[in-house]
Amino acid sequence: MTAEVNTGNATRTREQGRQRQAEALRLYHAGLTMREVAARLGYSLSGVHKAIHREQRAQLREVGDRVLELELERLDRLQLRHFAAAVNGDTRAADMVLRIMARRARYLGLDKHPQTDATRAATDLLGTLAAQIAAVRDTYSAAVVPQAVERGTEAPACHARPVETRSGRTAPDARGAVMTGSLQNVVKGRPDAV
């Protein structure tokens, strides 16, 4: 019985908070400044700002829910109209029903793949590998490309896109370089072994 009373109080408090937020938004839309709304309803300035934005988001969600409900009803009526013909072999009607079903799935988010532990792990691994590749690329760019420019030679295993140096000469860009023996030397800390 105590749990029911607490639930009732929490619901009442939540509803009162929602009404207060709605009043804050109404007053703000009526032309009061945030400071005036805060003073009238007993909010702090940051509190009234948050309350107004929470109420705006809540109202947008309600409108979005109503629009979604309307669109789903329209899709149901369309599907009902074409379904019998589709089942009886009408290929155009079958195509229409399939498109309606696909649209419904998109609206409801049914076509999104949930991220599993395996896909999360693969994403993390790819992120780690990308960071390591970027570090190797940066090390290569910092060590090998300037040396090659000094010698007037081309840096080995570089991407073909040229980069203009301070002296006006062009040097290959190391972005996208592949791992070669020269690049491995750079990674191992032996850039002059290139």
Tokens linked to 97: 């029903």
In sequence order, the 6+-apart residues with CB closer than 8 A to the CB of 25 are 51, 52, 55, 56, 59
Q: Are 98 and 79 in contact (CB under 8 A)?
A: no
- Of 156, 126, 144, nearest in space to 188 by CA: 144
- Dump pLDDT digits (tens) for 109-168: 887 766 677 777 777 777 776 777 767 767 766 776 667 667 766 655 544 344 444 555
Enter the pTM of the model: 0.44
pLDDT digits over 71-121, tens only? 999 999 999 999 999 888 889 999 999 999 999 988 888 877 666 777 777
